[in-house]
């Protein structure tokens, strides 16, 4: 694992954007595994800036996202599809038919999960971006999710629903279920890039890097992957030991 500690969220976002741009420069048909949330937002802004300034192209890129809420239409304000369009896809030259996000309105979630896993198997990610939850989740793989999990339907942890309530009018509007790539699906990526910022993430980062490798901390599974880059700001790195 390569761990880099940056002074600020801005600095780690610049590092993350550079890693992604370098991959696209070497391989214009790269496959990007994408995440939503507050942490990667600035990275996506920097990718848009680079696309405008330097013309980095996404025409041949395939992208898929980690997860989507169940029961929220794709065009709704709070869907992850809307987040991705507003933050990135609408501002770059990516082919919309090459951008995959689970269908939150599916009437056959099991079939949707199997089909999504097929997309991942056909297009292994050159780089998979991940945030981390305060409870150590990656994607929506909440604590106790099996390391062998593939794309599946999951009940959201109450901590996660509280953390995400900021995007909804009230806590009761936050969906209770989602479809998420499993931990095993995430581990299929060739390179995993986990980014974390702020003191609320410090305990989860410590558990991921220094605690036992256990489903109780889903992010600890990444210690079994041979190409992981972790970018932290100082606050998120605050609890880890010098030796780490």
Enumerate the active-site residues.
Answer: 67, 135, 137, 142
Q: Are 183 and 138 in contact (CB under 8 A)?
A: yes
For the bound state, the minimum distance from the C-beta of residue 226 to ligand PGA, rounded and expressed in Å, comes to 22
Instruction: Look up residue 183 and give its two tokens.
Output: 């931990």
* Selected range binding ligand PGA among 7-15, 37-45, 52-60, 71-79, rule: CB under 6 A: 37-45
For the bound state, the minimum distance from the C-beta of residue 51 to ligand PGA, rounded and expressed in Å, comes to 22
For the bound state, the minimum distance from the C-beta of residue 97 to ligand PGA, rounded and expressed in Å, comes to 26
Number of chain residues interacting with ligand PGA (CB under 6 A): 6
Task: Give the closest residue to 193 by CA, choosing from 225, 147, 148.
Answer: 225
For the bound state, the minimum distance from the C-beta of residue 88 to ligand PGA, rounded and expressed in Å, comes to 15
33 binds ligand PGA (CB under 6 A): no
Q: Using CB under 6 A, which of 33, 131, 182, 215 touches ligand PGA?
A: 131
Q: Which is nearer to ligand PGA, 37 or 104 (CB)?
A: 37
Cβ within 8 Å of residue 180, ≥6 positions away: 66, 67, 102, 139, 140, 141, 151, 152, 154
Cα(193)–Cα(127) distance, integer angstroms: 7
132 binds ligand PGA (CB under 6 A): yes
Cα(108)–Cα(175) distance, integer angstroms: 17
Cα(153)–Cα(132) distance, integer angstroms: 19
E strand or H helix at 193: strand 192-196
218 binds ligand PGA (CB under 6 A): no
182 binds ligand PGA (CB under 6 A): no
Q: What does residue 109 show for φ and ψ, rounded to 5 degrees?
A: -60, -35
Q: Which is nearer to ligand PGA, 56 or 230 (CB)?
A: 230
Q: Which is nearer to ligand PGA, 31 or 35 (CB)?
A: 35
Q: Which is nearer to ligand PGA, 131 or 215 (CB)?
A: 131
39 binds ligand PGA (CB under 6 A): yes
Instruction: Look up residue 137 and give its two tokens.
Output: 């989740």
Cα(94)–Cα(60) distance, integer angstroms: 7
Cα(143)–Cα(162) distance, integer angstroms: 16
* Selected range binding ligand PGA among 101-109, 127-135, 171-179, 213-221, rule: CB under 6 A: 127-135
Q: Which is nearer to ligand PGA, 33 or 131 (CB)?
A: 131
For the bound state, the minimum distance from the C-beta of residue 58 to ligand PGA, rounded and expressed in Å, comes to 22
Cα(95)–Cα(160) distance, integer angstroms: 31
What residues line the site for ligand PGA (CB under 6 A)?
Answer: 37-39, 131-133
């Amino acid at each position: 694992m390569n761990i880099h500690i940056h002074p600020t969220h801005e600095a780690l976002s610049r590092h993350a954007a550079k890693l992604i741009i370098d991959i696209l420069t070497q391989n214009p048909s790269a496959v990007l595994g994408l995440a939503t949330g507050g942490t990667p937002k600035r990275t996506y802004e920097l990718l848009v800036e680079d696309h405008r300034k330097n013309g980095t192209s996404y025409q041949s890129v395939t992208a898929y996202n980690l997860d989507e809420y169940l029961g929220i239409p794709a065009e709704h304000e709070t869907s992850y599809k809307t987040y991705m369009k507003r933050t990135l896809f609408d501002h770059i030259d990516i082919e919309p038919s090459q951008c995959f996000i689970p269908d939150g309105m599916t009437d056959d979630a099991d079939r949707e999960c199997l089909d999504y896993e097929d997309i991942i198997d056909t297009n292994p990610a050159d780089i998979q971006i991940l945030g981390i939850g305060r409870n150590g989740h990656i994607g929506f793989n909440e604590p106790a999710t099996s390391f062998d999990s593939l794309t599946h339907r999951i009940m959201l942890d109450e901590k996660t629903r509280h953390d995400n309530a900021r995007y909804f009018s009230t806590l009761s509007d936050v969906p209770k279920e989602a479809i998420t790539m499993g931990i095993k699906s995430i581990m299929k990526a060739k390179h995993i890039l986990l980014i974390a910022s702020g003191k609320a993430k410090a305990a989860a980062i410590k558990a991921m890097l220094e605690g036992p490798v256990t489903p109780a901390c889903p992010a600890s599974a990444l210690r079994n992957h041979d190409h992981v880059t972790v970018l932290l700001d100082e606050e998120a790195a605050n609890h880890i030991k010098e030796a780490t």
